[in-house]
């Protein structure tokens, strides 16, 4: 099979629901039928427009059929690749590479970094194509725990607050400091302060709209600087997902990291969620922390992180 080429997609193609159903099967196996149903319900139907500002969506076309798609969205000056799908029979590195090359051409030299992060319920052969285009591919493990169990171990005495829009600058400074230190091994370019601010504003906008900003916990020093935080979101009707757990280097090993996760879980319990999930690289010592408070491995998934300076698009 050969692909005839790339096209700009202005709307969700008719082939997309097949992929959505396949994703839903994987989600049902891990998170239950309600989660799968909610995922299907939230997926845009064929014909839904894709031409929001800052989003480019490309399709891989064979005859009049779309056999794959991928989109790029800008968060600050970082481009995030989303909606990366290939139909059955087309899940080969060369087709991933074609979509990737198309997106890189469209993005040009604009973004400071490009990332792709996904839970692959229907596995795609991403690694070869991504590493072949200068990406660092990092395996991450998905861990899960019943929220009730995580909450049960909560330590007394450390104060955390529900995240609010007023916290974005202090939280961005902490993310920039934590994830740009010498020990960083993940998202090396995502957390420049301006980008972290854009990420947190987006997080605030999304979670406050759903009335779920209190799932995200932040701890402050007396002078108003952030000591620790994580970003939590509802992933499925019964599942909350924790991202970017960060504790300032001078505040570590005092139980703050565990408390932030436990208080996030307590807020999840209040919001009616049953399961908490998070992603972690296999070598991160934070795994010990998560295991201690009840998290177990679920399945592997891939995360790709890259470029400070995208190559010259003409050279692709």
State in angstroms the smallest separation of the CB of 113 from ligand COA. Answer: 18
The count of residues interacting with ligand COA (CB under 6 A) is 18
Compare residues 83 and 295 and give the one whose CB is closer to ligand COA: 295
Between CA 90 and CA 67 the distance in angstroms is 7
d(CA 1, CA 137): 27
Q: Of 10, 65, 202, 252, which lies in the binding site for ligand COA, with binding defined by CB under 6 A? A: 252
Kindly state whether residue 254 participates in binding ligand COA, applying the rule CB under 6 A.
yes
Contacts with 211 (C-beta within 8 Å, 6 or more apart), sequence order:
none
Q: Does 258 bind ligand COA (CB under 6 A)?
A: yes
Nearest distance, CB of residue 253 and ligand COA, angstroms: 5
257 near ligand COA, rule: CB under 6 A: yes
User: For residues 273-312, which are near ligand COA according to CB under 6 A?
Assistant: 280, 284-286, 288-289
Per CB under 6 A, which region of 162-170, 205-213, 218-226, 241-249 contacts ligand COA? 241-249
Count Cα neighbours of 212 within 13 Å in the Cβ-side half-sphere: 23
Contact of 186 with 303, CB cutoff 8 Å: yes
Tokens encoding 245: 């757990």
Which distant-in-sequence residues (6+ apart) come within 8 Å of 223 by Cβ? none
In angstroms, rounded to a whole number, what is the distance separating the alpha carbons of residues 37 and 242? 22
Q: For ligand COA, which is the closer residue by CB, 72 or 246?
A: 246
- Site membership for ligand COA, residue 157 (CB under 6 A): no
Cβ neighbours, 10 Å, residue 90 = 19
Taking CB under 6 A as the binding criterion, the range among 69-77, 79-87, 252-260, 304-312 that sits at the site for ligand COA is: 252-260
Residue 226 found at the interface with ligand COA (CB under 6 A):
no
């Amino acid at each position: 099979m050969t692909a005839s080429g790339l096209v700009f997609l202005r709307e969700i193609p008719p082939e997309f629901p097949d992929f959505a159903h396949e994703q839903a099967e994987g989600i049902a196996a891990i998170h239950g039928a309600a989660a799968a149903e909610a995922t299907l319900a939230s997926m845009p139907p064929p014909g839904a427009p894709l031409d929001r500002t800052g989003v480019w969506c490309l399709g891989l076309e064979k005859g009049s059929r779309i056999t794959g798609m991928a989109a790029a969205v800008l968060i600050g000056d970082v481009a995030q690749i989303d909606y990366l799908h290939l139909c059955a029979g087309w899940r080969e590195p060369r087709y991933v590479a074609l979509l990737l090359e198309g997106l890189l051409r469209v993005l040009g030299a604009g973004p400071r970094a490009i990332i792709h992060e996904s839970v692959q319920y229907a596995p795609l052969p991403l690694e070869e194509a991504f590493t072949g285009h200068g990406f660092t591919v990092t395996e991450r493990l998905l861990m899960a725990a019943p929220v009730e169990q995580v909450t049960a171990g909560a330590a007394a005495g450390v104060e955390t607050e529900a995240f609010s829009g007023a916290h974005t600058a202090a939280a961005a400074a902490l993310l920039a400091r934590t994830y740009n230190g010498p020990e960083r091994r993940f998202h090396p370019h995502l957390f420049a302060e301006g980008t972290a601010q854009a990420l947190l504003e987006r997080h605030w906008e999304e979670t406050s709209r759903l009335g779920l900003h209190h799932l995200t916990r932040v701890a402050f020093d007396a002078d108003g600087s952030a000591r620790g935080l994580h970003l939590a979101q509802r992933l499925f009707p019964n599942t909350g997902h924790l991202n970017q757990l960060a504790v300032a280097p001078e505040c570590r090993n005092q139980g703050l990291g565990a408390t932030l996760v436990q208080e996030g879980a307590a807020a999840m319990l209040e919001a009616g969620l049953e399961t908490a999930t998070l992603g972690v690289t296999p070598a991160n010592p934070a795994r010990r922390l998560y295991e201690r408070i009840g998290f177990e491995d679920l399945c592997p998934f891939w995360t790709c992180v890259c470029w400070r300076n995208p190559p010259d698009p003409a050279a692709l």
